[in-house]
Structure 1
């Protein structure tokens, strides 16, 4: 039987801010990686470097889990890391890094939906359901109003990739909160990442032809792109996941997902610094999303 989540303490809010800064920066890192690599290469490199960094710990931590836990850890690895690692680069082929980061504010709504549908009693009231509808409406408006060369219809379609990624994160965090509260966050990270990441590394270095891509790039551009993806893997993926899973264990999936309140601001600032556009109509859209998030969390 699982214990109830603890009330957030001061240090949990510091964790929340640190995570927002790390994850808010990840979208600009993906953008810089896409200057040289394909979305498939960015995803497999991110997964592979994460697995490589954790491989010295794999033997110790794999011994701490039981065979009964392996299927759920595979699901956590796929939903919390593997699928989003592919979905975000493919989305950013046609979406700006700032728009992608702002759309990630849907994560708390998705966490609530998944928890309500699969992990909790279905006692949501009209207020919570209205919050979900407002948040989704805001996401549609945000995607439609965003400036870009791809066109409104294309941007709206690719925003669906971000929504799917948020559903993946929601599934992963709810699984951790429900079934792995007693397991070390480092063990969860090492085992789930290693299982899904090591095959990706093999593909990236062989069939993915990443070394050829890096050396073929003009000047130091290839190495700079590789450094950005490495930072994405080591900081935005490995380090951030350890912090996030620990926070989920301490405070529950819903509080932890509120990191998405701050991520859009960080992503927007990075985008503006990199010369990305911003439309005035996006302001009421992001307000709608955050209002929806607040309503969905209320009782």
Structure 2
């Protein structure tokens, strides 16, 4: 029988590595958007992820039943499909660093969905104070972010990120409620395939990805494709597998601390890429992280 171990140095190294991989996602999306449309970035990310999981597909797809397919489609749409579109659309107006910092709301959204829809979390004053602080921090982040878009536009596009966080929260709660006995890798493979294969077909046909790549001068299209490919294979597929392994080894509580580091990695990449940072964004992201901590 597998037992959770106390986190050791390997677990901390894995945690830092996973934070770096996931926190890099937002700058990779930004680089992809230099050439591709948000829909092209999303469909490529999903499609390439499905291709990367192809060697595991034969084994793991056999483990699911027909009755599980509809719910796995919902998990695939909320856990990978919709967020893959929402983040690139948001980053047409928001910086990659702001997007990464707002994504730190995912654990807080998971608590909200668990409490109000699944009634599985015992809510108390501490948790609800965390929700309030996190939402105030998110609002302050969107309000104070420097950029050409006005505050109203930034609030609207920050809403895309909040919706993506609620999608992730819905997916994880569905898995916890209905797929406790199903291996995590099986869920990952099935959900990615159910949404990734149609996305890849669209990208190569109506999405006109090949034409976009070939039409860009000086190999810019190929560079953008490489960025999105890295986003799909490393920041999506590999990161998901590492996360599930870390949960199995050291427990969900320790693994969830990745949520505190990802926004800092995204902020660092944004600053290195020349993105501006306002004074109020630092206390704002601190409020978000404190809110996440209190809501656990």
* TM-score between both structures, scaled by the size of structure 1: 0.92
With over 3 angstroms needed to count, the CA separation of the structure-2 counterparts of 1:210 and 1:52, relative to structure 1, is same
What's the counterpart of residue 200 of structure 2? 201
Take 1:49 and 1:135, find their aligned partners in 2: how far apart are those partners?
34
1:236 aligns with 2:235: yes
What's the counterpart of residue 101 of structure 2? 102
Q: How far off its partner does 1:186 sit?
A: 2.2
With over 3 angstroms needed to count, the CA separation of the structure-2 counterparts of 1:8 and 1:29, relative to structure 1, is farther
* TM-score between both structures, scaled by the size of structure 2: 0.93
With over 3 angstroms needed to count, the CA separation of the structure-2 counterparts of 1:183 and 1:12, relative to structure 1, is farther
Q: How far off its partner does 1:113 sit?
A: 1.2
| 1:221-254 Cα deviation digits (max 9, x unpaired) | 1100000000011011111122234445666666
Note if contact 1:177-1:249 (Cα within 8 Å) is conserved in structure 2: no
Of 239-248 and 257-266, more deviation after overlay is shown by 239-248
Q: How far off its partner does 1:143 sit?
A: 0.7
Q: How far off its partner does 1:217 sit?
A: 0.6
| 1:190-244 Cα deviation digits (max 9, x unpaired) | 1110111000000000000000000111111110000000001101111112223
What's the counterpart of residue 222 of structure 1? 221
| 1:145-191 Cα deviation digits (max 9, x unpaired) | 01111122111110000001111111222233333343333222111
Q: How far off its partner does 1:75 sit?
A: 1.8
| Correspondence list, 1:51-62, <5 A | 51-62=50-61
With over 3 angstroms needed to count, the CA separation of the structure-2 counterparts of 1:8 and 1:88, relative to structure 1, is farther
Of 107-116 and 118-127, more deviation after overlay is shown by 118-127
What's the counterpart of residue 72 of structure 1? 71
What's the counterpart of residue 39 of structure 1? 38
Take 2:244 and 2:158, find their aligned partners in 1: how far apart are those partners?
26
Q: How far off its partner does 1:119 sit?
A: 3.5
What's the counterpart of residue 261 of structure 1? 260
1:27 aligns with 2:26: yes
What's the counterpart of residue 7 of structure 2? 9
The answer for unaligned runs of 5 or more in structure 1 is none
Take 1:277 and 1:284, find their aligned partners in 2: how far apart are those partners?
16
Q: How far off its partner does 1:46 sit?
A: 0.4
Note if contact 1:181-1:249 (Cα within 8 Å) is conserved in structure 2: no
1:147 aligns with 2:140: no
1:213 aligns with 2:212: yes
What is the root-mean-square deviation of aligned Cα atoms in Å?
2.1
